[in-house]
Amino acid sequence: MRKFFFVVTVFLLSNIFAQVESNRNRKWQIGFGTGVVKFSDEDASFIGDKNMIQIPRLNLTIPIGEQLSLDGAMSFNSFGVGFIDNSVKYFSLDGSVRYNFNQLSEDFVPYVFAGGSLVDSERKMTPTFNVGAGLTYWITNSLGLNTQLYYKHSLESFESMRSHIQITGSLIYSFDIGNLFSGRATSAIGGACYFNQH
């Protein structure tokens, strides 16, 4: 199983770096938000908590095609602010491939996704297989609101985690990665020309 996740991780990373150059004119997205994890009553007695809150949750989405994108996220345990303290810890690293139905509407973009997570609990870090759906509502050209519903399946062979649901909500900011690089290049060229003239 460890070899499988290693191969999947290498594959995803290689695709990210292979596609950066060809997708510089596309929009990347970063998000900041929160999440809620829900276990069944039976599994909650094993895990130690039924509903857990994650603050913050950070994610980065990179387009790799017209309707496909890669998404990576980190969900941290809550920082302990009174009424949202968790009885046990929950930290996860998530990776998924999205299929975006962006042809349906300019403002509302629904999508489905599949991927995996590494979930760190009270016992040890455990892999899960994920499927789910999400929706982004674009308030402006650059700012949007996003919500997602995960089903994280934990194999019975793993004794440290149980299958569960995660619901997330985030504020999304989109940006053109190509402009960042072209801006630097323009400044460098402009500076060189200035000095060459004197």
**Could you tell me the residue ranges of all domains in the chain?**
2-196
| Ordered per-residue pLDDT tens for the chain, 198 residues | 555 555 555 555 555 444 433 333 358 999 999 998 888 888 777 777 788 888 889 999 999 988 899 999 999 876 655 556 667 788 899 999 999 998 777 789 999 999 999 988 777 788 999 999 999 999 998 999 999 999 999 887 777 788 899 999 999 999 887 665 555 544 444 544 433 444
Q: CB of 66 within 8 A of CB of 41?
A: no
- The per-residue pLDDT for 46 is 75
Residues 108, 102: Cα–Cα separation, whole Å? 8
CATH architecture of 2-196: Beta Barrel (2.40)
Closest CA to 108 of 135, 132, 133: 135
Closest CA to 97 of 112, 80, 83: 112
- The per-residue pLDDT for 24 is 35
Residues 113, 133: Cα–Cα separation, whole Å? 6
